[in-house]
Structure 1
Amino acid sequence: MKKTTQNNYVDFLGEIKERIRRAQYDALKAVNKELITLYWDIGKMIVGRQEQYGWGKSVVENLAKDLQKEFPGIQGYSKDNLWRMRKFYLQYKNNEKLAPLVQEIGWAHNIVIIESCKDNLEREFYIRMIKKFGWTKNVLIHQIENKTYEKTMINQTNFSKVLPEEIRSQAKLAVKDEYTFDFLELGEEHTELELERALISKVNRFLIEMGGVFTFVGNQFRLEINGKEFFIDILLYHRRLKCLVAIELKVSEFKPEYAGKMQFYLSALDDLVKMKDENPSIGIILCKGKDRMIVEYALRVSGKPIGVATYKITARLPRNLKKEFPSPEQIARLMEEM
């Protein structure tokens, strides 16, 4: 086979593979939607009959036994799962916004959300994040346990001012106010180099905590400007935002000069590394602590997109941040733009 013909064939094979993958994905989506619809209907029927005839708990237990006898080997009709179907229907039956959305994620995801989330805004957040970023069940559990919803809603960035409107909301949702690195074997006192090495040694866990749609580009990423070398602690790439993400690690409290240094890095990345079709590079300064007012002043004058977050080795959300939480109306508006 001639080289040009072989190249054409390779391209052709690639197109066929991609088409098959798309068909497989569409088929899985269709099966999932049908399964969720079935479970919704069963939950609705159980609730309806209990209300109509005054049936108690025994109807679910009897139903589970008879269905498992009628459909041996088919999972999903246990007593516990039938109760989940009932709860699923009751949770969303009067919610016109969420009822269609829950059909677009898996049953296992739905159960985790129902059993772990406190209100409909939190549920909507995780449903939309699963759809957008393809979180697995385990990633979802990790994000809920580490309070990603709360930490995302109170994050500190200047994205509203400096990013293009079409990616502004997605970018806000890509940065948390606090990251939990409880998978690191580090003492409370450590150096920036020790923190960097520990994160790189467990880069997969690090990327999951960052949000699950980042890819690792490098650490101590080298920039050469007029014969001088500069190094970015960690450089990632956000696949949805299509942009480079520079991360600076600080084991101290945030200082205003950190924003100036990050602004320098982002200018250099945009000029020297960013591709023409990519969005502006984003910076995340990860600090041991921060004063929110100092961060606000520092970001107010920055012309580059920067977020300032803290990190913890153990999972906890400081109580004093509860007052920083946005109103339900503000949260709803942000999620509508996802």
Structure 2
Amino acid sequence: MAPLPDDYTELLESLKDRVRRAQATARRTVNTELIGLYWSIGSEILARQDRQGWGAGVVHRLAEDLRAEFPQMKGLSRSNLFYMRAFAASWPGWDPNVPQAVGQLPWGHIRVLLDRLQSTRSRDWYAAAAVEHGWSRNVLANMISGQAMERTGSAPSNFTELLPAPSSELVQQAAKDPYNFEFLGLTGEIAERDLEQRLTDQIVETLRELGPGFAFVDRQVHLEVEGDDFYLDLLFFHVEQLRYYVIELKTGKFQPEYAGKLNFYVAVVDDQLRRSFHHDTVGILICGSKNDHTVRYSLGRATSPMAVAAYTYDQLPPADQELVPAEDQITAALDALPGDSGTTD
């Protein structure tokens, strides 16, 4: 066998990458066509039910006949046809030729949206977020359970007063309220240093809760001001916004003096760590509870961009949580009770 060309390895890797990109494009195209098919089937069922009064029995027969004709397709079950109907009802004006977030999602993700959410606005928000951040189906379900949409950008802040647009909008979106710390397994209030330790021990989950773009810098960051030593709790850097985020933790209720301390830390980081091409440093105080009126008075005269948020955690110990039935178990038990099912053919 003749010796291989010098650039053979480089060529091979290039062709492998080309094949992978083509495969990914093909998968996206197939998924888009499938979602379009499901919507059209659901739209047809919806229209027939409105015009001809189709019942569940007709849909059941339709599922059987379609599966008999296309046995290799696994998505033509009776339950899936009803999901298709719900899909068409939820997005009545959907056009497969017009790019929309929901059309880029796998069918399993769309079923989660239909099962867990009631409004078109919330379904569109989570669909767009899932596409933008590449959420798996489980992550999407967790984000819905954790009310990510409701919490995003809801923390009281002074960002609009101290930051120019569009930076103020971007930073506000990064400030949730409350932060969901259930992944820490807390069962009650703990010392601030213990909370800090748990957040850094589970840094992957912490970063996921903070949101896309956050990178962990350090904890107990040492700041020296003319011989005086200070230590801020947690320091993050947002790689998309190009700015530092100072996060201070308080396990009790918010007090006005906390804002003054955070204002000081943000000013020092802005002066000592921020580079010329970085945007203004932002501070977020996360506390056990807060009075929003007190927070707004405290932030009103602050000179640094800051937000104040609370955090939540499971109130039951892990052993007790295991004894509580899951939502689907409760639903199944209720469905098993005798009585009129309400389903007619």
TM interval, shorter chain, is: 0.7 to 0.9
For residues 296-307 of structure 1, the aligned pairs below 5 Å read 296-307=296-307
| 2:262 corresponds to | 262
Q: CA deviation at 1:51?
A: 3.5
Q: CA deviation at 1:43?
A: 0.9
Q: CA deviation at 1:94?
A: 4.6
| 1:128 corresponds to | 128
TM-score (norm 1): 0.78
1:192 alignment partner AA: E
Deviates more, 1:131-140 or 1:41-50: 131-140
Whether the 8 Å contact between 1:143 and 1:209 is mirrored in structure 2 is no
| 1:235 corresponds to | 235
For residues 23-42 of structure 1, the aligned pairs below 5 Å read 26-42=25-41
Whether the 8 Å contact between 2:237 and 2:244 is mirrored in structure 1 is yes
Would you say 1:89 and 2:88 are equivalent positions? yes
Q: Go from structure 1 to structure 2 and tell me whether the alpha carbon gap of 1:189 and 1:226 turns closer, same or farther (over 3 Å shift).
A: same
- RMSD of equivalent CA atoms: 3.3
Deviates more, 1:245-254 or 1:306-315: 306-315
1:117 alignment partner AA: L
Whether the 8 Å contact between 1:92 and 1:99 is mirrored in structure 2 is no
Deviates more, 1:182-191 or 1:17-26: 17-26
Q: Compare CA radii of gyration and give the structure with the larger one.
A: 2
Q: Go from structure 1 to structure 2 and tell me whether the alpha carbon gap of 1:23 and 1:308 turns closer, same or farther (over 3 Å shift).
A: farther
Would you say 1:115 and 2:97 are equivalent positions? no
Q: Go from structure 1 to structure 2 and tell me whether the alpha carbon gap of 1:214 and 1:41 turns closer, same or farther (over 3 Å shift).
A: same
Partner of 1:62, secondary structure, is helix
Whether the 8 Å contact between 1:243 and 1:278 is mirrored in structure 2 is yes
Q: CA deviation at 1:142?
A: 1.6
Q: CA deviation at 1:178?
A: 0.7
Q: In structure 2, what is the Cα distance between the partners aligned to 1:285 and 1:14?
A: 48
Whether the 8 Å contact between 2:157 and 2:307 is mirrored in structure 1 is yes
Q: In structure 1, what is the Cα distance between the partners aligned to 2:260 and 2:19?
A: 48
TM-score (norm 2): 0.76
Q: Go from structure 1 to structure 2 and tell me whether the alpha carbon gap of 1:21 and 1:140 turns closer, same or farther (over 3 Å shift).
A: same
| 1:5 corresponds to | none
Q: CA deviation at 1:90?
A: 0.7
Whether the 8 Å contact between 2:247 and 2:286 is mirrored in structure 1 is yes
Partner of 1:271, secondary structure, is helix
Q: CA deviation at 1:179?
A: 1.6
Greater share of residues in helix = 1
Would you say 1:251 and 2:255 are equivalent positions? no
Q: In structure 2, what is the Cα distance between the partners aligned to 1:20 and 1:273?
A: 44
| 2:318 corresponds to | none
Whether the 8 Å contact between 2:90 and 2:120 is mirrored in structure 1 is no
Whether the 8 Å contact between 1:192 and 1:250 is mirrored in structure 2 is yes
| 2:42 corresponds to | 43
| 1:184 corresponds to | 184
Whether the 8 Å contact between 1:159 and 1:171 is mirrored in structure 2 is yes
Equivalent residue pairs, number: 307
Partner of 1:90, secondary structure, is helix
Unpaired segments of 5 or more residues in structure 1? 1-9, 316-338
Partner of 1:55, secondary structure, is coil
Q: In structure 2, what is the Cα distance between the partners aligned to 1:122 and 1:136?
A: 18
Q: CA deviation at 1:188?
A: 1.4
Whether the 8 Å contact between 1:180 and 1:314 is mirrored in structure 2 is no
